[in-house]
Copies of this chain bind each other. A is one copy, B any other.
Amino acid sequence: MLMFGKEKRWLGSIVLLSLFLAVMSGCSPSGAGPGSAASPRAGRETLVQVSTIDAIINGVYDGVISLGALKEYGDFGIGTLAGLDGEMIGFDGDFYQVRADGIAYPVTDAMETPFAAVTCFDCDYEVELPQISSYEELEQFLDAALPTDNIFYAIKIEGTFSYMKTRSVPRQEKPYPPLVEVTAYQPVFEFSDVAGTIAGFKSPAYVSGVNVPGYHLHFLTEDSSAGGHVLDFSVQEAVVSVDYTSEFLMILPGEDSDFYQLDLTQDRQAELEQAEK
């Protein structure tokens, strides 16, 4: 009888502890509600970023953390893979790598990223888009719809696009060239009447040097076969969902990284615009 009591006591402890651990790790389902802790290091309302955009502009392409670890911080996001091996896009917990051949491959947890941003996507605003005919028109539409320019937004657009233009980047070998040298010869892909999902972020102007100020969007076709970094598009029929995000966690590369030796005092905004557009 005493043994039975002891066993049940431990069983009770383990159940309680497991329940607590489940709530504390990864993007828990909506039942946990907004504001619940998502991982031991970030809340659901936190945009979690690895490295800085200026490190990428300077050619720091070595992996910083594994995709397995990155996904602990969010089920939605964009980035690139170690060696600048393509454009990464993830939503609903599934992440893909669009390589220089334009094909989308599922990522593995063991792969690493040198630069990425993710969050647990909780929709705060959703609307059907009008027939937007350019990237710029989407920016104007969302700028007018969103409550402030001074927080972060995760943006998801699901639908059919009468036109979509993307690019990817080829994997680099050491010594790594700066990003503008890579994007000068980037493969570009065009799609007509394509169904799929745009995922990405709008970041405030004051994170210049840290992330891409303004909009940074990637695309994946509905059949998860192709996509890339979005250069331009026209909307046929699509719904935009936005997650308002007021917390920002940046995880910098470690002391064994080239990051430690960089001169990050220069303004690289002109180079960034050349590389991203």
- A91 contacts the other chain (CB 8 A): no
- A249 contacts the other chain (CB 8 A): yes
- A41 contacts the other chain (CB 8 A): yes
A interface secondary structure, majority: mixed
- A42 contacts the other chain (CB 8 A): yes
- Give A75-101 as 1s and 0s: 1 = Cβ < 8 Å from B's Cβ atoms: 000000000000000000000000000
A129-137, A148-156, A190-198, A218-226 - the one binding chain B: A148-156
A108-116, A171-179, A252-260 - the one binding chain B: A252-260
A-B pairs, top 4 by smallest CB distance, nearest first, are A5-B5, A9-B9, A206-B209, A148-B260
- A163 contacts the other chain (CB 8 A): no
Q: Which listed residue (B40, B251, B261) contacts A246, Cβ 8 A?
A: B251
For chain A residues 1-34, which have a beta carbon within 8 Å of chain B? 1-2, 4-6, 8-10, 12-13, 16-17, 20, 24
Chain A residues at the B interface, C-beta cutoff of 8 Å: 1-2, 4-6, 8-10, 12-13, 16-17, 20, 24, 37, 40-43, 46, 52, 54, 147-151, 204-210, 246-255, 259-262, 264-265
**Alpha-carbon separation in the docked complex, A47 to B275 (Å):** 30
- With A16-B16, A247-B252 as known contacts, state yes or no: A204 contacts B264, CB within 8 Å: yes
Q: Which listed residue (B16, B150, B209) contacts A259, Cβ 8 A?
A: B150
**Alpha-carbon separation in the docked complex, A123 to B42 (Å):** 24
Of A41, A261, A262, most B-chain CB atoms within 10 Å: A41
Q: How far is the CB of A14 from chain B (nearest CB, A)?
A: 9
Q: Which listed residue (B4, B17, B249, B255) contacts A5, Cβ 8 A?
A: B4
- Beta-carbon contact of A206 and B17 below 8 Å: no
- Beta-carbon contact of B5 and A260 below 8 Å: no
